[in-house]
């Protein structure tokens, strides 16, 4: 799946994207509140300025992801891999 397809499905009402591969996806400034991205591969993805309020990112691979100014308020990041993720100015008020 690519970023464009994910956004199209999200806008159509789908919120469940568990386990999809979004390696190096460009989701810059995407508004994806309440999305389920658990166990998703987002390694190297650009999520800068994205809105992921109330998102489920449990066990997501966020290695080397660009999370600059991402909004993760009340997001579930339990078990997520954030190694080498760029988190400058990220809003990280999350729940586990």
- HEC-encoded secondary structure of the chain: CCHHHHHHHHHCCCCECCCCECCCCECCCCECCCCECCCCECCCCECCCCECCCCECCCCECCCCECCCCECCCCECCCCECCCCECCCCECCCEC
pLDDT tens readout for residues 13-38: 999 999 999 999 999 999 999 999 99
Is residue 11 very low, low, confident or very high in pLDDT (cuts 50, 70, 90)? very high
Q: What range does the domain containing 39 cover? A: 1-96
CATH of the domain at 93: 2.160.20.80
* pTM summary value: 0.93
């Amino acid at each position: 799946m690519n970023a464009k397809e994910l956004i199209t499905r999200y806008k159509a009402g789908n919120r469940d994207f568990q386990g999809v591969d979004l390696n190096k996806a460009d989701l810059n400034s995407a508004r994806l509140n309440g999305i389920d991205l658990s166990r998703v591969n987002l390694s190297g993805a650009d999520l800068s300025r994205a809105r992921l309020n109330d998102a489920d990112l449990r066990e997501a691979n966020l290695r080397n992801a660009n999370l600059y100014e991402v909004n993760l308020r009340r997001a579930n990041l339990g078990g997520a891999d954030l190694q080498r993720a760029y988190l400058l100015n990220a809003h990280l008020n999350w729940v586990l």
